[in-house]
Amino acid sequence: MTASIEIAPYRLRPLRLSDGADIHRLVNDWSVVRMLSHLPFPYPRELADRWIGSTIQRQSAGQAWHFGICDDKALIGCIGVSLDAPGRAARIGYWLGRAHWGRGIATLCVTRIVAWAFETLPASQILADVAQDNPASIALLRRLGFSEAGRTTIAFLSRGGEPCPVLTMSLARSGFSSVAARLGTVSAETSADHDPGMTPRPTGPATATAMPAASGAGTVPDGIATKRPASAAPRILLVVAAVLVDRENRVLIARRPPGKPLAGLWEFPGGKVEHNESPEQALIRELHEELGVDLSAGCIAPLTFVSENSGGRHLLMPLFICRRWRHDPVGREGQELAWVSPEALHAYPMPNPDRPLIPLLQELLSG
């Protein structure tokens, strides 16, 4: 077994089969799991045990080394490195429980594990895959000397299989001295560190998967696309959605049917705004086409909006609330419908843009 690594006041120790309950509790949190590409959400308890078993097997085979990040009381996250072949690149990944963000722990542990990897493993460089919508992790890696080596997209199970833009960051062994020089100073430099983790294939609690190998220091890994020109701008995708609220204060959500993108996920009904349509006109049309519901512009009120990057496009989604309509909603496109209390919305896996709306609806509609 690999010995523990002390980074006062924290300790990195090999994972144990008894860690399954803690890992499940920490990872089964949307804020954490959305940055981990190979984990579903919700995250089943048994997957934690299976993942720990796979990490122990890979360590015995000399393929990967995973550590629990522990404070003086309990496990608070995980970090690890995988190595496909001697002399080639290693990959690093990590995550922290949400309650432990903002304390510089991630930078401290990543710095120490990078030093350990270069001291211990026959790797010419260390790579890290990080979602482009995780700016805190990108900033962390850059502070430690990592530079961008390429761009690609990875299907995130946590986001319903949605392809997400990912940066591959690289640190060569020749740059190790600058990392080592930071070992005694990272705590003072990183008090604002709040990232939940990277997209890691080596350290996310899932079944073991093979890691793409890099071909050598300073090269772009196989399958990684070259960087887009800085002038390329994402295209705006304007969609509209509605929160239909019934007399019992329940919210209507619809499940995307098989054969459609993000099949199986639940969402607030709505759709794309067509050319020369206003958001209100699009919503009235979409609700009639999808649900057989008739309503007028006077029955809907703007509530909030979502704005975020999604692949090569930027999603802008106005959200309206509606309490009055004609006809009972039915799934005209084969979608399953459910009336759900605001408190129960977390139990339904949703696309990434819909998840941040749940706390707002709970505050607005509860009580």
**Is the model's pLDDT at 20 over the cut of 90?**
yes
So where are the chain's domains? 5-189, 235-365
CATH architecture classification, 5-189: 3-Layer(aba) Sandwich (3.40)
**Is the model's pLDDT at 189 over the cut of 90?**
no
The topology (CATH level 3) of 235-365 is Nucleoside Triphosphate Pyrophosphohydrolase (3.90.79)
Q: Which two tokens stand for residue 245?
A: 């609220």
**Is the model's pLDDT at 194 over the cut of 70?**
no
Note the pLDDT tens digit of each residue in 236-262.
Answer: 889 999 999 999 999 999 998 887 777
- Pairwise CA distance, residues 311 & 234, whole Å: 8
Average pLDDT over residues 70-77: 91
For residues 339 and 207, the model is more confident at 339
Alpha helices in 17-65 (DSSP H): 20-27, 30-33, 45-60
Nearest to 260 by CA among 156, 158, 346, 161: 161
Task: Pick from 13-27, 171-185, 343-357 the range whose average pLDDT is largest.
Answer: 13-27
- Pairwise CA distance, residues 55 & 57, whole Å: 5
In a 13 Å sphere around the CA of 90, the CA atoms on its Cβ side amount to 31
Helix 45-60 crosses helix 20-27 at what angle (to 10 degrees)?
120
Note the pLDDT tens digit of each residue in 310-364.
Answer: 656 788 899 999 999 999 999 998 899 999 999 999 899 998 888 888 888 988 8
Based on the number of CB atoms within 10 Å of its own CB, is 118 exposed (0-12), middle (13-18) or buried (19 or more)? buried
Categorize the per-residue pLDDT at 191 as very low, low, confident or very high, splitting at 50, 70 and 90. very low
Question: Which residues make Cβ contacts (< 8 Å) with residue 174, sequence separation at least 6?
Answer: 217
Quick one: what percent of the chain has pLDDT higher than 70? 81
**Is the model's pLDDT at 180 over the cut of 80?**
no
Strand spans (E) along 90-196: 90-96, 125-131, 147-156, 162-172
